[in-house]
Structure 1
Amino acid sequence: MTKAEKTRDFIVERTAPIFNMKGYAGTSLNDITAATGLTKGSIYGNFANKDEVALAAFDHNLHHNVSQIEAELNNHSSIKGKLLAYVSVYQSFFVGKISTGGCPILNTAIDADDTHPALREKALKAVLSWKKRIITLVEEGILNKEIKADYNPEQVALTVIAMIEGGIMISRLTNKVENWNLIMDSLKKYINNLG
């Protein structure tokens, strides 16, 4: 890895939590220089603009989170176990153990919805990839008779995603973990009743 690549990685690693917490509009160049200890010239010597840093920070946050999810999914052999693994991993997002500031997909989707088309597109691709992954799991569960054949895999995927992301939003907005627990209890029942 070249020195320039190391510097770019350093900038992304240091700024990714800030973009996740403050969003694109809320993160200033001063935040970036304070987090990295680098000058504005050094930042712009490695990135064309703040957009480039933000896009790389989103990719970094998403990659980190997806690797955590994949690791947890690999700990389960049953489809229901794999679906329930999303609940436990996102619990870690909610309490800040994995991703400072919560779920980067949710944060970016809300922050960039009407203001930053490139970030919105990245968040959209992340949700569609997540949906596809759950659809594949549900289809596998239907084939091996772990999930009833009358369930629509796309509907299950959208329900799981909506309950997790909605649960995070409501819990963070109200600042009550009890709300997260209530919503996740409902999601666990939903998943357990799929068979």
Structure 2
Amino acid sequence: MSKAEKTKQFIIEKTAPLFNTKGYSGTSMSDITTATSLTKGSIYGNFENKDEVAIAAFKYNVKKLHDVLSREIEKQRTFKEKLLVYPRLYSNYAELEVTVGGCPVLNTAIESDDTHPVLKKYAEKTLLYWKEKLIYLIEQGITAGEFRAQSIDSEKTALTIIAIIEGGIMISKLTGNGKDLSTIMLSLYKIIEDLE
């Protein structure tokens, strides 16, 4: 990596927790310079504007989460075990310490919904990718004979999995109770178990 690339990566790594915790609107340029110990000029020398920093931070946070989930999914032998990675890891999401501030998809989607169309597009794209990945795992499980083909709507099941995870995270953040998320993930375990 060149010095410029290292500086850019440093800025992303230092601001990713900031944007995921405070949001786009809540993160000021002063917050960014404080987190990085760089001047405003250094930030703008590497990024055109705050939008670019926020988008890079979002992508960084999503990649961190994606990498953890993918590594765990790859270790599993069956498609059911691969799907069960989601409730298992999300049951203790706070303990994963993957992204400070919670799920970047949920945080960004909620904040950018009416205020930041570019970030909303990135959150939507990430959500659609996640849905397609779940559909693939479900359909592969059907093909492998692990799941009942005739009674499964793979898209509906994928969307339900995402809704339960994101809804569970939102509820546990609001209540400040991690046990709420664990309880909700038990319902997701059952949904996946019932695919057989």
Alignment check: 8 A CA contact 1:160 1:187 kept = yes
Q: Are positions 1:173 and 2:195 aligned together?
A: no
2:63 corresponds to which letter in structure 1? H
Q: Deviations over 1:82-116 (max 9, x none)?
A: 11101223234334511110100000000111111
Alpha-carbon distance in 2 for matches of 1:12, 1:180: 29
Q: Structure 1 residues 92, 3: closer, same or farther in 2, change over 3 A?
A: farther
The equivalent of 1:75 in structure 2 is 75
Alpha-carbon distance in 2 for matches of 1:78, 1:60: 29
TM-score normalised by length of structure 2: 0.96
The equivalent of 2:101 in structure 1 is 101
Q: How does 1:181-192 map to 2 (within 5 A)?
A: 181-192=182-193
171-180 or 156-165: bigger deviation: 171-180
Alignment check: 8 A CA contact 2:15 2:57 kept = yes
CA drift of 1:45 comes to 1.0
Q: Deviations over 1:33-55 (max 9, x none)?
A: 11100011111111111001000
1:139 corresponds to which letter in structure 2? E
1:147 corresponds to which letter in structure 2? F
Q: Are positions 1:141 and 2:141 aligned together?
A: yes
Alpha-carbon distance in 2 for matches of 1:23, 1:98: 17
Q: Deviations over 1:125-153 (max 9, x none)?
A: 00000000000000011111111111000
The equivalent of 1:16 in structure 2 is 16
Alpha-carbon distance in 1 for matches of 2:92, 2:46: 32
Alignment check: 8 A CA contact 1:96 1:102 kept = no
- Structure 1 residue runs of 4+, over 3 Å off? 91-96
* RMSD over equivalenced CA pairs, Å: 1.0
Q: Structure 1 residues 86, 11: closer, same or farther in 2, change over 3 A?
A: same
Q: Calculate percent identity across the aligned residue pairs.
A: 52
Alpha-carbon distance in 2 for matches of 1:44, 1:160: 40
Alignment check: 8 A CA contact 2:92 2:182 kept = no
1:45 corresponds to which letter in structure 2? G
CA drift of 1:2 comes to 1.4
Q: Structure 1 residues 162, 190: closer, same or farther in 2, change over 3 A?
A: same
Q: Deviations over 1:19-67 (max 9, x none)?
A: 0001000001111011100011111111111001000000111111111
Alignment check: 8 A CA contact 1:68 1:89 kept = no
Alignment check: 8 A CA contact 2:134 2:158 kept = yes
Q: How does 1:1-195 map to 2 (within 5 A)?
A: 1-95=1-95, 97-149=97-149, 150-195=151-196
Alpha-carbon distance in 2 for matches of 1:56, 1:63: 10
Alignment check: 8 A CA contact 1:105 1:126 kept = yes
Alignment check: 8 A CA contact 1:105 1:123 kept = yes
